[in-house]
Structure 1
Amino acid sequence: MNPDRRTVLSGIIASAIASGFSFRALAAEEVTRVDDLIKKMTIEEKAGQMTCLADAFRPFNPPNPAAGIQDVKKLSEEIRKGRVGCLFNGIGVAGARKAQEIAVNDSRLGIPLLLAGDVIHGLKTIFPVPLAEASSFDPVLAQRTARAMALEATAAGLHLTFAPMADVARDQRWGRVVEGSGEDVTLTALLSAARVRGFQGRDLRRDDSLLACPKHFAAYGAVAGGLEYGSVDISDETLRETHLPPFGSAFAAGALTTMAAFSEINGVPATADRTLLTDILRGEMGFTGFVFSDYTADEELVAHGYAEDDRDAARLAVLAGVDMSMQSGLYIRYLPDLVKSGAVPMGTVDVAVRRILYVKMAMGLFDNPWRSLDEAAEKSRIGAPVHRELAREAGARSIVLLQNDGVLPLDKGKKQKIALIGPFGDDKANLYGPWAFYGDADKGVDVASGLRGAMVDPDQLTVVAGCAIHGPTDGGIEEAVKAAKAADVVILALGESQDMSGEAQSRTVIEIPPAQQALADAVAAVKKPTVVLLRHGRALAIHDGVANANAVLATWFLGSEAGNAIADVVFGKVDPSGKLPVSFPWESGQEPFFYDRKSTGRPTVPNGSTEYKARYATTDNSARYPFGHGLSYTRFTLDKLQVSDPALRWDGTVSITARLTNSGKRRGSEIVQLYTRDRVASRTRPIREFKKMERVTLEPGESRTVRFTLSRTDLEFVGAGNRRLAEPGAFDVWVGQSSEDGLHTQITLYAAAPASA
């Protein structure tokens, strides 16, 4: 067997085994079938399998500029000629069947199409944006919502989703923070793997299995200044330690495709980076599926100043390891001549085509090209009530209680007048967040409807906008102040519109718009108990009337059941248990800001002098609300921290335990977190690193021992020569409720048993 073929096939099998999935490995006859196809294929047909184009057969919702869109007649002819391997971002079984019938029945070789789409946090049932769901710190929840998304997406005629986003995002100015799991590598890795498992299910050949495509490989979340499509300039150590592990976790969970980043790394655009896409991705990480370009990203190599023209861009992309070109059409236009001229070896093209066909075979498309094209499933699985119930649960679990002086929860049985003030009070247009373009806007539950549905007397709720999202309205503040004065409790619904987050929505100031801030300040002057509901797709810097409210809730973009989920938390039906996956800064100018930063040689210390220390002149180097922060309606305390042995042997483990007590008066859940710090190392290490977590639910007065296990591998980092290593020495350990608190102990890693042992 050709080594390249062996590598691809064994890698697919290995990915399945590593992930625990039970789909059948390719049989020998299936491998032969692919080989025979490749032998029969012309170079045009091979380039066609490597081409992904916008779906003109079905309602198409382009989240990008409408470049290269073809009408149905032209696209049909291209498919008949075998010049298309994948269609994307159309939904609907009828249109998908028409396209697949042409590919299977009318093309020379009958190779089925792969049907893909951007189902990021829901198809028709919209779940919380990924960043919101990350606040649950719960991979099981992420897997459940991804499974529900897969059930709807496959019922709508899709085989693949361009998700999850596995980018670690540490600059809140970047709009696509909303699409991932936040600033921490461990949390992102856990949730990325969970979403892959949820999308794909346990058998890739099932009708309801949705192939995952982790993106954007790699380090897209590190774009300079948080500027979309920008450049990335980082060390190899940071690339491997921070930005690659979530992808490795997703691949181990069974993902067989990935997408190259728009950005460049250290001067080389990812789409043309052979070191990244071949040496690292395939050589170091062992990935053997296939690689998509992002939307026209190969064509954009010219604008980068890296390719001379479109033909050169196609050459660079395919030689780097991009197997499938999305939307530019460069491969179908230029690969035949590039191969004929010798600029691209036929063997390179064959390897890419083989990767694509092996994945199609692993999905069962050759045996059943009509999989996921069932009209009965389309009618029964999309928007199912059980999915709405899950969306409500996920929404409530995603809310983070940032501060509360006791005003929450509200007593829904108490006769009290509530003034819901702000542009998002009864707004339906901004419930879903970005990347939810298949959802029906009129089917989402707004905040006002959710609150009224939970109140004994809905007439006690007054709704006043007070201002528009981006500007004042005539008499708006006066009306809001009047409503606040007449109310017993004020709820301010403020924040970002959904088009302020997402792709191409980088911001220099991560604050609520000035008109909303003015509204909040005016209402605050009334001095009524005030609750702020923040709507947002990133961490925000909040001030004055917002920051000083009696209670502040991070409610993100929660999807179809947003209003009901918020009402569940506001009225105490659900105890808030979310934790922040991103740090909220004091000021926008602190960005990029993240909890696991380095100490510097002149760190600030508590109650110490700040002169000539690592700080800003206008604020200190801390978070208003740190990573991992989130309150409950009850009170949790930690004590009795114990370590089984302060000496961690090289091949051993130690147990860290602490007692968690619910010392409040309500049942609640806490997410206990374990952090470490390498005190002295050959590379400076972060002040804390998140390693473990456990969710614990306790009744009032109940206690439970939380146990974590640490081994040498938990203490590894990327050192000289880009090798992962752990170094003997002392390590700080914290068990706490955020990245800035906790009980402290210390362990020592020994290369061999200590002399006293």
Structure 2
Amino acid sequence: MNRKTLWNVSLILLSSFMLVQCTPKGNDKFIDDLMSQMTLQEKIGQLNLLPTGPITTASGQNTDILDDIRRGEVGGIFNLKGVRDIRIAQDIAVKETRLGIPILFAMDVIHGYETIFPIPLALSCSWDMAAIEKSARIAACEASADGIAWTFSPMVDICKDARWGRVAEGAGEDPFLGAAIAKAMIKGYQGEGLKNNNEIMACVKHFALYGASESGRDYNMVDMSPNRMYNEYFLPYQAAIEAGAGSVMSSFNDINGIPATANKWLLTDVLRKQWGFNGLVTTDHSAIVELTNHSIGNLESVSARALQAGTDMDMGSRAFVAQLEKALKDGKITENDIDIACRRVLEAKQKLGLFEDPYRFLSDERAESEIYTESNRAEARKIATETFVLLKNENQLLPLQRKGKIALIGPLGNTRTQMQGTWAVAAVPSKYSTILEAMQRNVGERATIRYAKGSNFMYDEKFEERTWVNKGELPHLDDEQLLKEALEIANWSDIIIATLGEPAELSGESSCRTNLEMPDAQHDLLQALVKTGKPVVLLHFSGRPTVMNWEQKNVPAIMNVWFAGSETGDAICDVIFGDVSPSGKLTTTFPQTVGQLPMYYNHRNTSRPQDKDKWFEKFRSNYIDVTNDPLYPFGYGLSYTTFDYSPMKLSANELNIKNDSLIASITISNKGEYDADEIIQMYIRDIAGSITRPVQELKGFQRIHLKKGESREITFTITPELLKFYNNDLDFVCEPGEFELMIGPNSRDVERCKFILTE
């Protein structure tokens, strides 16, 4: 090597060192200077977001991903776990590439890292924004302690069709509640604005309308009017952006003919221009290469379209790395298009402080001391108790006493791999208790507990395989023998606790269903248990609304426990033995039959609405074989105590459209024998609008704690802002006229009164 070459290499190395070590946050000049030194290939490399398994393996190292880094073709890596492996990859990026640009490490931290909280749908049923924010804060602290700086959460898609498996990942069917939860999650993950090394960048997904996919099937099309988009689906995404979300993930579905990943109207006009988002947009996994399946062009063309639409990072498909340089030569994109996307990636790294310290999220000490701690587990246990929804409690069978002979029966009663639910990437099930273990600890010597699996999840073993049931822990056994063992224990017992429902992966991504009833083998087991004449408590596991008509008619006590995370067993014991009264309320409507789907409480009226007092009426908007009613309405959930709602009072009967407000008040009394939480819900109906309006819309809620015998007056403030909607011209307005106000424990059982909005 001659002297001139050596001098040039030295300058490059010095420049790289200075870029990494001396960069202040929020310095546009720094980004300008860095990009001025980058080659076209280096810029494109920053747009490449790759998945990888463990780098360090028994046979050595996964050199493929490391070689990609050395070539400068990696901007981010996701779902790589552990400080050791992440440090290996970061070392190569910082020390062995020309400019030493650090890598952004991400993971699907959806409802916890190793301390797993209830699935997001369950969390939403707590209606507790402080608890939801706390769950995200703990998840961020644990993930960041293990090297992760970016999470692909929260998922804020509104879903009204329970056939869609990913309803488990969201906050249910209501945009008002969904928006509140989105804000809480963003604050929990990002903390004080990504200033500290225990705060991670959130990613709002899936933008947009993914929960409305046709037939409730993953990756399917969406065809929707702008009116519905803005009034029923967009609010949680927009709320997350207003809360400061650092990134957004585009959805797989097309939207009125243009896939979201290549939809400029969506990613640029709405997201950036209308809502002012200035952060990073990534695709979902392999979405760019899959654009070719939508028949909108070859790989080069769709890569160019995605970039120009506003996509910054290509997750998993390597399409940008393979195609953008050629697309530039062919005139399909400009270098400025590449620069815009590259800048956003670099700005995200800058906001996270990675240029100041590429290793700020890598600490062996934090990894040892801050993950799955006793305090984190205690929070997860407490939060889980708030998510359980008591659906039925005939003759106050619950809570149980810690005495006698208890039969615990069902395939979910003695498994540790099923408790965390779907999308728990970093979970370590070996650390978690089964329900049987937790129950034995909880009752000690005061009661005798015997367990039987009772049935397989399904009779069809191939069906079980499609649900990813862990065969080592839950092998498919002989159906007759399982039932025989269960009935023997059931007949021995004083009471039966049945742990039945969906296995963890029967909801979630790629787990869409056309039949929402309990799987056949378990349903037959439940029928047999009820026939014994012993009292039965059904602990029902699910990641979605299910059809439970037989259960509602025949089982004395039913509690939906969803999938409550790493502390499921102890949390269930807290509630079924009465230490905590159940307080969760449904955030999705439970149908009587799958044929009613999509089903949701805030529907619009029809020209011929059904008479609520009649089973069926010809030439009305109803079914001939079942009523329009849900099995369990939105907002529904029982308690061990009884809450009494007084008549509602209004501070005035009129509200002026110009900055006026009125107060609605109602007194809630705990008339039962248990201290308990209640979730009070306020709904409003715009009786006559310029466009058709929903029969009711959630516009407020409060979660309160009342001791037995205690009463409290609850107030809600109604303002013109609360009454706004997007009209036919997509102007956000409120219109003078008559409104109906409803307050109650759910969307069905409400106190009502009316007021007028005047000009």
TM > 0.5: yes
What is the rounded CA distance, in whole Å, between the counterparts of 1:701 and 1:299 in structure 2? 62
Q: Which residue is equivalent to 2:629? A: 622
- Whole-Å separation in 2 of the counterparts to 1:77 and 1:725: 55
Q: Which of 428, 446, 453 is the matching residue for 1:465?
A: 453
Residue 436 (structure 1) aligns with: 424
Shift of 1:28: 9.3
Alignment of 1:569-608 (within 5 A): 569-608=575-614
Shift of 1:81: 2.6
Q: Distance in 1 between matches of 2:674 and 2:364?
A: 47
The correspondence of residues 52-71 of structure 1 with structure 2, limited to 5 A, is 52-56=49-53, 58=55
Residue 285, structure 1, aligned to residue 275, structure 2: yes
Say whether 1:728 aligns with 2:736.
Answer: yes
Q: Could you tell me which runs of 5 or more consecutive residues in structure 2 were left unpaired when the two chains were aligned.
A: 1-22, 460-477
Letter in 1 for 2:27: E
Alignment of 1:283-682 (within 5 A): 283-307=273-297, 309-413=298-402, 415-457=403-445, 460-471=448-459, 473-545=479-551, 547-608=553-614, 610-611=616-617, 612-650=619-657, 651-682=659-690
Q: Are the equivalent residues in 2 in contact too, given 1:154–1:209 (CA < 8 A)? A: yes
Letter in 2 for 1:194: A
Q: 1:113 Cα shift?
A: 0.7
* Structure 1 partner of 2:464: none
1:40 alignment partner AA = Q
Describe the SS at the equivalent of 1:355.
helix
Supply the AA of the counterpart residue of 2:700: K
Counterpart residue identity of residue 33, structure 2: D
**Cα distance in 1, alignment partners of residues 735 and 708 from structure 2:** 43
Match of 1:139 among 123, 126, 129: 129
Report how far residue 501 of structure 1 moved: 0.8
CA deviations on 1:552-600 (whole Å, 9 max, x unpaired) are 0010001111111111100000111110011111111111111111221
Q: How far apart, in 2, do the equivalents of 1:507 and 1:188 lie?
A: 23
- Taking the aligned partners of 2:552 and 2:676, their CA distance within structure 1 comes to 26
Q: Output aligned runs, 1:42-61, within 5 Å.
A: 42-56=39-53, 58=55
Of the three residues 697, 709, 712, the one matched with 2:705 is 697
- Give the partner amino acid of 2:381: R
Measure, in 2, the Cα distance between the counterparts of 1:224 and 1:172: 12
User: 2:241·2:277 contact (CA, 8 Å) conserved in 1?
Assistant: yes
Moved more, 399-408 or 108-117: 399-408
Q: Distance in 2 between matches of 1:55 and 1:371?
A: 21
Q: 1:550 to 1:717 in 2, by over 3 A?
A: same
Q: Structure 2 residue aligned with 1:247, among 237, 243, 261?
A: 237
| SS of corresponding position for 1:366 | coil
Q: CA deviation at 1:475?
A: 2.9
Q: Specify the code of the residue in structure 1 equivalent to 2:611.
A: V
Q: Deviations over 1:159-182 (max 9, x none)?
A: 100000010111100000000111
The CA deviation at 1:464 is 1.6
Q: Which residue of 2 aligns with 1:17?
A: none
CA distance in 1, matches of 2:708, 2:103: 56
1:590 counterpart letter in structure 2 = Q
C-alpha distance in structure 1 between counterparts of 2:127 and 2:55, whole Å: 37
SS at match of 1:606: coil
CA contact (8 A) 2:189 2:202 kept: yes
- Larger mean Cα displacement after TM superposition, 668-677 or 94-103: 94-103
Q: Return the letter of the residue paired with 2:426.
A: Y
Q: For 1:33-52, what per-residue CA distance to the aligned partner results, in whole angstroms no more than 9, with x for missing partners?
A: 10111122111111111110
Q: Is the 8 A contact 2:156 2:236 kept in 1?
A: yes
**Partner amino acid, structure 2, of 1:97:** R
The reply on whether 1:273 has 2:263 as its aligned counterpart is yes
**Residues in 1 aligned to 2:614 and 2:217: alpha-carbon distance in whole angstroms:** 36
Aligned residues: 715
Structure 2 residue identity aligned to 1:633: Y
**Cα drift, residue 458 of structure 1:** 6.1
CA deviations over 1:625-663 (Å, ceiling 9, x no partner) = 111001110100110310111101112111110000001
**Structure-2 residue corresponding to 1:15:** none
Tell me how far 1:618 sits from its aligned partner: 1.9
Q: Deviations over 1:447-502 (max 9, x none)?
A: 22222222143652121222111127123333323322322211111100011011
Q: Give the secondary structure class of the aligned counterpart of 2:404.
A: coil
Question: Within the alignment, does 1:35 sit opposite 2:23 as a pair?
Answer: no
Candidates 111, 114, 119, aligned match of 1:121? 111
**What RMSD in Å do the two structures reach over aligned CA positions?**
1.7
8 Å contact kept, 1:524–1:545: no
**Residue 198 in structure 1 maps to residue 188 in structure 2:** yes
Normalised to the residue count of structure 2, the TM-score between the two structures is 0.92
| Residues 157 and 211, structure 2, Cα contact 8 Å, conserved in 1 | yes
**What is the SS of the residue equivalent to 1:53?**
strand
Distance in 1, matches of 2:551 and 2:352, equals 54
What amino acid does structure 1 have at the position aligned with 2:417? A
In structure 1, the gaps of 5 or more residues are 1-25, 61-69, 752-757
Structure 1 residues 56 and 560: alpha-carbon distance in aligned structure 2, compared to 1, 3 A threshold: closer
Q: Check 1:701–1:48 CA distance in 2 against 1; reply closer, same or farther (3 A cut).
A: same
Opposite residue 106 of structure 1, the aligned amino acid is: E
1-structure distance, mates of 2:696, 2:752: 12
Deviation at 1:241, TM superposition (A): 1.7
